[in-house]
């Protein structure tokens, strides 16, 4: 919703910028010193920062939603770590540019909380081997001795991979 509203603001700013360019051309035509429209330029600059922040927040929320809803064994942990590290890097830069911005502070807080994120993938492999040995001895035509031995070996291997994403600034 915020990004939709920001797109509307972008359209308004573009229209104002076109008007400002038209006014500058008229001023040049009448040999007047062109007005710089510094407030418009500053507003556009602030808009671009706000749009970047909200876009990053939206991207992070979509990534989290995808990770939470994907089957655990299908997650690409290495790709997740790369995405998280890039996000941390971007948020750190934005927090420096806008230290008093509420959205930037929220992103920084999210970044700090996400540092505690631990991804654990556990793979358990159980192998059961059963060996049955049957020995039949015919002692007489009417007497047969059958000996059956069964050996069962169960081997369980558990592999745990734990990843702690760390930001790289």
The one-digit pLDDT tens for each residue of the chain (169 residues) are 788 888 888 998 899 999 999 989 999 999 889 888 888 888 888 888 888 888 888 888 888 888 888 887 788 888 888 888 888 788 778 777 766 666 555 555 555 444 444 555 555 556 666 667 777 777 777 777 777 777 776 666 665 555 555 444 4
- Residue 168, pLDDT score: 45
* Residue 44, token pair as written in the block: 């556009």
- DSSP sequence for 81-141: HHHHHHHHHHHHHHHHH-TT-HHHHHHHHHHHHHTT--EEEEEEEEEEEEEEEEEEEEEET
Query: Which residue's structure tokens are 């993938």?
Result: 121
Query: What is the reported pTM?
Result: 0.56
Q: Strand, helix or coil at 145?
A: strand
| Domain boundaries along the sequence of the chain | 2-121, 122-162
- Residue 18, pLDDT score: 92
């Amino acid at each position: 919703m915020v990004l939709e509203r920001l797109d509307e603001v972008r359209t308004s700013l573009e229209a104002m910028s076109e008007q400002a360019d038209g006014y500058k051309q008229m001023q040049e035509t009448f040999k007047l010193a062109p007005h710089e429209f510094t407030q418009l330029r500053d507003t556009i600059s602030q808009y671009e920062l706000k749009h970047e922040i909200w876009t990053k927040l939206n991207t992070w929320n979509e990534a989290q939603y995808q990770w939470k809803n994907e089957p655990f064994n299908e997650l690409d942990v290495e790709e997740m770590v790369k995405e998280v590290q890039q996000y941390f890097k971007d948020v750190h830069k934005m927090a420096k540019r806008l230290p008093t911005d509420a959205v930037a502070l929220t992103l920084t807080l999210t970044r700090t909380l996400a540092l505690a994120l631990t991804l654990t993938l556990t793979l358990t492999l159980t192998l059961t081997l059963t060996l049955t040995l049957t020995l039949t001895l015919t002692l007489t035509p009417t007497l047969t001795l059958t000996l059956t031995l069964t050996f069962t070996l169960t081997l369980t291997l558990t592999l745990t991979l734990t990843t702690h994403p760390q930001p790289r600034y």
